[in-house]
Structure 1
Amino acid sequence: MTRLSVEMLAADPVEPITSAGHAQLGIAVLLGIAVIVLLITKFKLHAFLSLTIGSLALGAFAGAPLDKVITSFTSGLGSTVAGVGVLIALGAILGKMLADSGGADQIVDTILARATPRSMPWTMVLIASVIGLPLFFEVGIVLLIPVVLMVAKRGNYSLMRIGIPALAGLSVMHGLVPPHPGPLVAIDAVDANLGVTLALGVLIAIPTVIIAGPVFSKYAARWVDVPAPDRMIPQRASEDLEKRPGFGATLSTILLPVVLMLLKALVDIIVDDPENVVQRAFDVIGNPLIALLVSVIVGIFTLLRPAGFGKDRLSGLVEKGLAPIAGILLIVGAGGGFKQTLIDSGVGQMILEISKDWSIPALLLAWLIAVAIRLATGSATVATVSAAGLVAPLAADMSTTHAALLVLAIGAGSLFFSHVNDAGFWLVKEYFGLNVGQTIKTWSAMETIISVVAGALVLLLSLVI
């Protein structure tokens, strides 16, 4: 789910690095993915190396010059780490601060004390949906996963029973509800009404997240019964703390970046003037990097100071917090490199050209095109923007509500079956300590359920409104 800037998305298509025809390109994609899966599952090769080799294999099968394939892969890796890496690092530091200060203990103990085993999945999906409303998926992951892992471990809950609802809440918000970038760009492309799209998006999101979260998690927990990985679980704070931060202070520190990003989104909608001083100020304050950085700085005073941490302990805490995520950063970056290789090879353009001749209803066409591009490129944002650009002319004669439903159909299709070319796939795999097969059975299946259920609800609503 790597983000692309609006400027990049609006730019003219880049010349593909290969002149391969559609058939050869399609075969190359399948073979490239097969190489990655085979190296990881059969030969137990590290995911970073497997993704690197798979990207080179894809380019070779597509007949692209090796030097251009290398450039595509490295640029994709670099842009992914640039966009996601700092966020993961700041999130890891914040997570370590929460753990060592006792703040995470306070949150987890409060949740365990007030939520019953039956209500826990519903509690997690509600928390994730609220937090995920203004957040990019990656930011929500780094904020929520430490709490999810601790709740699962200490409450003796199935990791999938707790984790899947949290992931579902984040993912549904990402694909269906503004102010996420994908839906916003699609709204602009088809000239849909933001308020109507937001209202219908929330209406569709509620049943979708229930089915893909608490309901599906029952089956996911049976299919994949794994413990929370010890290496990713923040350890219980030591007993030599002067004082454990209060629940209110801890929760406020966690929610601070959420509030800052939500304020930015609201100001963007209300002011709607990029040159306005207030909007420019909130664009900076609500930037995910700044929002998380501010939260880390605030955490020094709300979490570490009450626990008796001095300056010397702060440096060591940051170092220890960053250590476990080194491998994750490389894997997520390599996933972005593979995705960029796919895009530069012309796979997205191939899907668009093939789909032009499909004679089916506009809403279903929008969903299918987004699905095809999502499967090919691994990027929900690329799928959303590409599909929106293709079907935008169809919205000219649509009513306000149907134009909004067109945006939501695209958003639903863009979430279909996340797999090895999606950086989010590797993020979930590593944080939850899963293998590729287990990630497909849980995360990929959950994403598919979200896509299909939301798409079906869009079509159903189109018949009654």
Structure 2
Amino acid sequence: MTHLRVEMLAATPVEPITSAGHAQLGIAVLTGIAVLVVLITKFKLHAFLSLTIGSLVLGAVAGAPLDKAISSFTTGLGATVAGVGVLIALGAILGKLLADSGGADQIVDTILAKASERSMPWAMAFIAGLIGLPLFFEVGIVLLIPVVLLVAQRGGFSLMRIGIPALAGLSAMHGLVPPHPGPLVAIDAVGANLGVTLALGVLVAVPTAVIAGPLFSRYAARWVDITPPENMIPKRPSEDLDRRPSFAATVCTVLLPVVLMLLKALVDIVVDDPDNHLQRVTDIIGAPLIALLAAVLVGLFTLGRAAGFGRDRLASTVERSLAPIAGILLIVGAGGGFKQTLIDIGVGQMILDLSEDWNVSALFLAWLIAVGIRLATGSATVATISAAGLVAPLAADMSTTHTALLVLAIGAGSLFFSHVNDAGFWLVKEYFGMSVGQTVKTWSVMETIISVVSLVFVLLLSLVL
């Protein structure tokens, strides 16, 4: 299947919880998304509450009985949290260990010490991509932007020349590469292979980050020529300079879960025999739960102990890493509930029915749906989760490779044109001391480049794989 046509795809029929026609379902979807937009943007209601209310409105407008709409939402919420909640928690612990131990600083300092002035933007993109593998986007921004400001100040660089590559590296990883929450939930929703998606995600994310980062930053620096705001430039505490894990140990710890998951994917492709002993072993160690758990356990020693942490400090670090992700877990879970409601009222089948005569790539269709939800809600994670629920039936007859590409197409669409309804927009604006217009010309354009370029790479891969 080199070119995916929607008319070629069929979904396993599922009895919907409503008998509404296509027109009513379409109105229900638009109403549910509109409620999300209004609650999140105008009333500033938390995304968890907005998704919960939006799901109930969706079911009600579609004519579903209230008890069945509630059941769909809670079923989706529970299944999503059960599937990715532990992975999110393990990723948060690893990220906190990386930050508190000074391991992240060690990576940054080592690479920057070896980078020339000309290669500095490339070094920043590499650092952000590397550190961004196990970290959530918001955590990565908070961790890296102070470093960006320091490098720009001490090296006399344009802030955009250094900052855009770092943001591009983080954003590309966030939208395209598991174990970030959006890709994980999309993988679960469409039944994609995690290892294959991870491998293809890295393959797409790297050149995308290069184009949207070091290359685009040349133009961004001309459009917005600013210096780092003095009030945002951090002063590192002296304790961070006393004892830190080595560069090699830090990099190996960060890449351990990625290597284990890629190893599983490689063995699955080469061996392809469920009874083979090697494949059974790699299936276990390459499972995301085991891979991330192994990285956390190794990190307790290679990061925590290497930084001089005792048992109490390690316990405190782990405990403090979990509190901030409560909101993320609730949002992801509620997004899963919204997705399940979409599926149960029959929206997925409606999309298949309406698009069966379209000569359009299913990957492009998935991207367009994610773009629409992203522009409306401002959340990449909400866009990914909702779009995955809508296009899940399209994956029914896809190959393993193309199902993974469907996830990447959704992730690419979820990054399109971040603007004023996106928390990341304001975070970047305030850290860099820019106006709204300057943020649009740099950050928003960069996000759009990532979205479009990654889609192009996904479509090209679909032609050859």
TM-score (norm 2): 0.70
State the match for 2:379 in structure 1: none
State the match for 1:90 in structure 2: 90
SS in 2 for 1:155: helix
SS in 2 for 1:305: helix
State the match for 1:335 in structure 2: 335
- Give yes or no for the alignment of 1:445 onto 2:448: yes
SS in 1 for 2:75: helix
Q: Any residues of structure 2 matched to 1:115-130 within 5 Å, and which?
A: 115=115, 119-123=119-123, 125-126=125-126
State the match for 1:55 in structure 2: 55
State the match for 2:279 in structure 1: 279
Query: How far does residue 352 in structure 1 lie from its aligned partner after superposition?
Result: 0.8
In the aligned structure 1, how far is the partner of 2:276 from the partner of 2:174?
A: 31
How many matched pairs?
Answer: 411
- Give yes or no for the alignment of 1:167 onto 2:171: yes
Whether contact under 8 Å (2:11, 2:393) holds in the other structure is no
Q: Aligned letter for 2:349?
A: Q
Whether contact under 8 Å (1:371, 1:414) holds in the other structure is yes
In the aligned structure 2, how far is the partner of 1:308 from the partner of 1:102?
A: 11
**Cα 1:388/1:215, change in 2 over 3 Å:** farther
Unaligned 5+ segments in structure 1 are: 1-9, 175-179, 188-193, 393-402
Identity %: 55
Q: Aligned letter for 1:272?
A: D
**How big is the alpha-carbon RMSD for the aligned residues of Structure 1 and Structure 2?**
4.8
In the aligned structure 2, how far is the partner of 1:171 from the partner of 1:268?
A: 25
Q: Any residues of structure 2 matched to 1:68-83 within 5 Å, and which?
A: 68-83=68-83
Query: How far does residue 45 in structure 1 lie from its aligned partner after superposition?
Result: 1.3
**Cα 1:389/1:290, change in 2 over 3 Å:** closer
In the aligned structure 2, how far is the partner of 1:309 from the partner of 1:373?
A: 47
Query: How far does residue 107 in structure 1 lie from its aligned partner after superposition?
Result: 1.5
State the match for 2:413 in structure 1: 417
Query: How far does residue 83 in structure 1 lie from its aligned partner after superposition?
Result: 2.4
Whether contact under 8 Å (2:32, 2:54) holds in the other structure is yes
SS in 1 for 2:307: coil
Whether contact under 8 Å (1:262, 1:286) holds in the other structure is yes
State the match for 2:393 in structure 1: 386
Query: How far does residue 389 in structure 1 lie from its aligned partner after superposition?
Result: 4.0
Q: Higher relative contact order by CA 8 Å / sep ≥ 6: 1 or 2?
A: 2
In the aligned structure 2, how far is the partner of 1:86 from the partner of 1:278?
A: 26
Q: Aligned letter for 1:370?
A: A
In the aligned structure 2, how far is the partner of 1:63 from the partner of 1:298?
A: 52
- More displaced stretch, 123-132 vs 98-107: 123-132
Whether contact under 8 Å (2:253, 2:302) holds in the other structure is yes
Query: How far does residue 22 in structure 1 lie from its aligned partner after superposition?
Result: 1.0
Whether contact under 8 Å (1:370, 1:386) holds in the other structure is no
SS in 2 for 1:14: coil
1:225-255 CA-to-partner distances (Å, cap 9, x unmatched) read: 9x99x9xxx9957618863211111111111
**Cα 1:337/1:220, change in 2 over 3 Å:** farther
In the aligned structure 2, how far is the partner of 1:288 from the partner of 1:430?
A: 27
TM-score (norm 1): 0.70
Q: Aligned letter for 1:74?
A: T
Q: Aligned letter for 2:167?
A: G
In the aligned structure 1, how far is the partner of 2:240 from the partner of 2:461?
A: 55
**Cα 1:101/1:139, change in 2 over 3 Å:** closer
**Cα 1:410/1:308, change in 2 over 3 Å:** closer
Whether contact under 8 Å (2:243, 2:306) holds in the other structure is yes
